[in-house]
Amino acid sequence: MTQRKPIIIGNWKMNCTIAESLDLASKLRDVLGGLRDIEVGISPPFTALSEVVKRVQDSDLIVAAQHCHVEDGGAFTGETSIPMIADLGCSHVLLGHSERRQYFGEDDRGVNAKAKKVLAAGMRPVICIGERLSEREANQTFEVVGRQLAGALEGLPASVAEQIVVAYEPVWAIGTGKTASTAQAQEVHGFLRGQLLEILGAEAGATVRIQYGGSVKPENISGLMAQPDVDGALVGGASLNAESFIGILKYDRQA
């Protein structure tokens, strides 16, 4: 059976000054030594990325950008290009987060174009997908996440599978305090695993890590991580507090 190293990333969204970011990053860096069996990442706001990368450079802490523009440069006021993010020293970029889809019109084609460029720049995309509540209630969950996954991966070779992370985040569970049950999470992760095997081939598809995201907390992480196709978590609110994020990172490995 393919062993996938779990990956847990904290998405700080539009929160934290530079000083607050450095404080949080330092606390996480200091506990990493005891957590060698997982990959740990943080995604601070753009304003803090440069300082945070410098602060954690001697550690294994992953630093991810929350967003990027698809063009390398030009007249796109306020945007940040993939080469600029690589230049900052980030190793990962979140793509297609539901808040980007909802408020900024991001779609699967754009996510796909960005994923290709992020990989070409030597970084790793974290591709976020997930259904809205109305879609779940209309029994469209598999159709929606299947379409989002296939759209995001279109044209990507199987050779990049290990560099890709997929984050399944049911929109109704993000920032709402409502977590998918472990069975609901595994049901969708299992479906996504099947899709990955079909799209990328059995060997490569088995290596892609699938994170769960949506109100993950120290209290619910262990049950989620015990599911066979849950390979990590993308954590929003609970990653803004060192104690709760460290509680998540120290989930019960035997659960």
Residue 236 binds to ligand PEP (criterion: CB under 6 A): yes
- Each as own residue / partner, the long-range contacts of residues 45-51 (CB below 8 Å, 24 or more positions apart, any chain) are 45/12, 45/13, 45/14, 45/15, 45/16, 45/21, 46/80, 47/17, 47/18, 48/16, 48/17, 48/18, 48/21, 48/22, 49/85, 49/88, 49/90, 50/88, 50/89, 51/18, 51/21, 51/22
C-beta separation of 26 from 57 below 8 A: no
Residue closest to ligand PEP when measured from CB atoms: 236
Pick the stretch among 60-68, 104-112, 232-240, 243-251 that binds ligand PEP (CB under 6 A).
Answer: 232-240
User: Residues in contact with ligand PEP, total (CB under 6 A)?
Assistant: 13
214 interacts with ligand PEP by CB under 6 A: yes
CA angle 48, 176, 92 (to 5 degrees): 35
Active site residues: 97, 169
Q: By CB under 6 A, is residue 225 in contact with ligand PEP?
A: no
Neighbours of 43 (CB within 10 A): 27
Q: Least distance from C-beta 167 to ligand PEP, angstroms? A: 7
**For the chain, how are helix, strand and coil distributed in percent, rounded to 5?**
45, 15, 40
- Tokens representing 176? 């709402």
CB 128 → ligand PEP: shortest distance, Å? 7
> Can you tell me which of 215, 220, 227, 244 binds ligand PEP, judged by CB under 6 A?
215
Q: Which is closer to ligand PEP, CB of 205 or CB of 214?
A: 214
Residue with tokens 């847990």: 8
Mask for 145-184, x = binds ligand PEP (CB under 6 A): ------------------------x----xx---------
Nearer to ligand PEP, 11 or 227 (CB): 11
C-beta closer to ligand PEP: residue 167 or 200: 167
Q: Is 64 in the site for ligand PEP (CB under 6 A)?
A: no
Footprint on this chain of ligand PEP (rule: CB under 6 A)? 11, 169, 174-175, 213-216, 234-238
